[in-house]
Amino acid sequence: MDARILSVDALAAEIPDGASLAIVRDQGGAPMAAVRALIARGAGNLHLIGVPVLGLSGDLLIGAGAVRLYEGAAVTLGEYGPAPRFVAAVRAGKIALKDSTCPAIHAALQAGEKGLPFMPLRGILGTDILKHRTDWKTIDNPFAKSGDPIVLLPAIKPDVALIHAPKADRLGNVWIGRERELLTMAHAAKTTLVTVEEIVDGDLMADEALAPATIPSLYVAGIAETKGGALPNAMPGGYGEDAAAIRDYVRSAASEAGFEGYLARLGISRKRAA
């Protein structure tokens, strides 16, 4: 059966308001074209999950008022500085936070992938984060002869995993290269929506060299061919980041008016998110 091939706007329309939405870090092929389409349609009330951190993609969605809750290890633009709209939203109390760590996000997604209710993790024992995550439970290892505490993390099962990848075939299989967390996201999520640089003929799963790094069509609900869909971020194995464009964003988004002007320069005409 052929894949559902959609426009990027139609793909974004498949993500309902109020959904829990997992997006990978900027350096992993963030779905920037789809994020812009979400903003343009006025998406709102999202529970945004950074895998394990977000940058420009998260800051755009937060600045547009599309996010009610952010769960992840950070929102940062790295060498370009703090994420300005995220910082402003936190200071103003406009979004709620579920603070996490990179290993905790990956472990909780792995629990969701495996159909488990939780995943144990040790590395956060003794940290202050446990004071703020009442949904994380510390227990004694039941297999130990003496006290051996371990933290249980509830599974993360996103409503939607939204990813950008190098290519897909017309059957709906998606090749992700070395970005293995994209496969974990697809396994854990109820629905996976994908933008790709290109749609190719043939069957990626039939190629022994490509199949191990391919998400099978079973997990993919829709695909949009979107050349340059990760820009201004880099596409691993494809193109580099547009540093000038990212710096322009940082300057513009220092204020709410500047952020609105940035969206206008991109040609994003949007309904205001609730």
- Look up tokens 């603070």; give the residue: 99
Q: CA 64, 65, 67 angle in degrees (round to 5)?
A: 115
42: how many CB neighbours lie within 10 A of its CB?
15
Distances (CA, A) of 176 to 28, 53, 81, 160, 232: 10, 19, 28, 17, 19
Enter the pTM of the model. Answer: 0.96
Residues 6+ apart with CB under 8 A from 119: 107, 108, 110, 111, 152, 153, 155
Q: What is the DSSP string of 198-253?
A: EEESS-GGG-TTTGGGEE-GGGEEEEEE-TTTTTTS-BTTTB---HHHHHHHHHHT
Helices (H) and strands (E) in the chain, counts: 9, 12
Are the beta carbons of 146 and 175 closer than 8 angstroms? Answer: no
pLDDT digits (tens, 9 = 90+) for 182-208: 999 999 999 999 999 999 999 999 999
pLDDT tens digits along 106-124: 999 999 999 999 999 999 9
Instruction: Please report the pLDDT score of residue 270 as a whole number.
Output: 65
The domain 8-105+156-265 belongs to what CATH superfamily?
Glutaconate Coenzyme A-transferase (3.40.1080.10)
State in Å, rounded, how far the first CA of the chain is from the last one. Answer: 38
Q: Which helix (H) or strand (E) holds 62?
A: helix 56-63
CA distance linking residue 199 with residue 170, whole number of Å? 6
Tokens 């790295």, residue? 78
Beta-bridged to residue 220, according to DSSP, are 192
Given this model, what pLDDT does residue 274 score? 46
The string of pLDDT tens digits covering residues 33-88 is 999 999 999 999 999 999 999 999 999 999 999 999 999 999 999 999 999 999 99
Which residue ranges make up each domain of the chain? 8-105+156-265, 118-154
- Mean pLDDT over 124-137 rounds to 94
Is the Cα torsion angle 129, 77, 162, 34 positive or negative in sign? Answer: positive
d(CA 140, CA 120): 11
Query: What was the pLDDT predicted at 38?
Result: 97
pLDDT at 147: 86
Q: How confident is the model at residue 271 (pLDDT cuts 50, 70, 90)?
A: low
